Amino acid sequence: MYKLLQIELYKIFRRPRTYIAFLAITALVGVIQLGLVKNGDDYVNFVMGNVMQSFSFDGKLLNGYLVCYILLQLLLVHVPLLIALVAADMISGEANMGTLRLMLTKPISRTQFLLAKFTASAIYTFMLLVWIAFLALFVSMFLFGVDDMVIQKTNYLVQLPVGDVFWRYVGAFGFALLSMLSVAALGFFLSNFAENSIGPIVATMSVIIFFTILSTMSIPLFQKIQPYLFTTYMVNWKEFFDPKVNADNAVIVGSLQHPDRIIQSALILVLHIVGFVGATMVLFKKKDILS
């Protein structure tokens, strides 16, 4: 199994397509950071204009932590598309190249083959998130410094003390990994049904876009089905930035307002991952390789 995993990773990282995602993330984060370096204060004034009329802030409102939060809100909608490029290609790409039949005439079981492939996709997803974390969090911390993090929620304002932010990012990125793995699992599942890469990549993107729209629109009809869409739970990384407050409305350091929501969402995402990968295995084990 370890040998197979090594081979799968070798194949992923020898393909030029793999690096599109890393380059796209680098370019996107770089451009946004450049914009914020140049005109960041204007941007903050624009976004938090109403709040700034009522409150006065000491310190750096635009700091590395806030920049990372802004970046994550933008990126975590688009990263699934980049993950689909690799995950949805895992089986269909082999079928398209004709290498699937050669692989499966080797003394490896189909279960091992699929597990190695999905694990390789998961490692790719993890590396992409590590890269995002490096650029969005660490580079932003370097460029903009750190201070208390002020976030405007729908009905209230959250001010997280500087010492209470980093662990929340660790949690948020961990949760984002689960979200992205569920996208990878969906791509992997759809990859089983096609003999070229384009179909499953487009299908994965379409499902994610369609479900995300349904998950985010506050229309009563959509709200009824939102609990059944896994995309509804993918954005719950934001719960890590919603702390409990005491009687004086001050943040209780190290607390979470809704840890139950995080746990429930994580479990639902894990179930989706297991479901998609399990279904792929059941179908693939019975599949006639005709490509």
Partner 1 sequence: MQSVIKVSNLTKQFKGLTAVNDLSFSVNKGDVYGFLGQNGAGKSTTIRMLLTLIAPTSGEIELFGMNIKTHRSEILRQVGAVVEKPDVYKYLSAYENVALFAKLSGVKVTDKLVMDQLAMVGLASRAKDTVKTFSQGMKQRLGIGIALVHNPQLIILDEPTNGLDPQGIADIRNLILSLSKEMGKTIVVSSHLLSEIEQVASRLLIIDKGKKLVEGNAHELFDPAQTIVEIETTDNLFALQQLQQSRWQSMLQPQRSHSILLKLHRNQIPSLHKNLVEMDVQVISLQPRHNLEDFFLQITSNNQHVQAFTN
Give the interface with partner 1 as residue ranges (CB under 8 A). 3-4, 7, 10-11, 14-16, 97-99, 101-109, 286, 288-290
Q: Which is nearer to partner 1, 20 or 51 (CB)?
A: 20
Least Cβ distance, residue 280 to partner 1 (angstroms): 17
- Residue 178 CA to residue 234 CA, distance in Å, equals 8
Least Cβ distance, residue 41 to partner 1 (angstroms): 47
Q: Which is nearer to partner 1, 7 or 141 (CB)?
A: 7
Least Cβ distance, residue 9 to partner 1 (angstroms): 12
Q: Which is nearer to partner 1, 113 or 230 (CB)?
A: 113
Least Cβ distance, residue 49 to partner 1 (angstroms): 51
Q: Which is nearer to partner 1, 104 or 245 (CB)?
A: 104
Q: Which is nearer to partner 1, 8 or 147 (CB)?
A: 8
- Residue 284 CA to residue 274 CA, distance in Å, equals 15
Least Cβ distance, residue 204 to partner 1 (angstroms): 22
The two tokens of residue 266 are 């994580």
Least Cβ distance, residue 196 to partner 1 (angstroms): 14
Residue that the structure tokens 């689909």 belong to: 84
- Residue type for 161, please? P
Alpha carbon 264 to its chain's center: 17
Cα–Cα nearest to 180, from 261, 226, 121: 121
- Residue 85 CA to residue 208 CA, distance in Å, equals 13
Total Cβ atoms within 10 A of residue 228:
10
Q: Which is nearer to partner 1, 119 or 257 (CB)?
A: 119
Q: Which is nearer to partner 1, 16 or 220 (CB)?
A: 16
Q: Which is nearer to partner 1, 32 or 100 (CB)?
A: 100
Least Cβ distance, residue 1 to partner 1 (angstroms): 12
Least Cβ distance, residue 116 to partner 1 (angstroms): 10
Residue that the structure tokens 């949760």 belong to: 175
- Residue 127 CA to residue 123 CA, distance in Å, equals 6
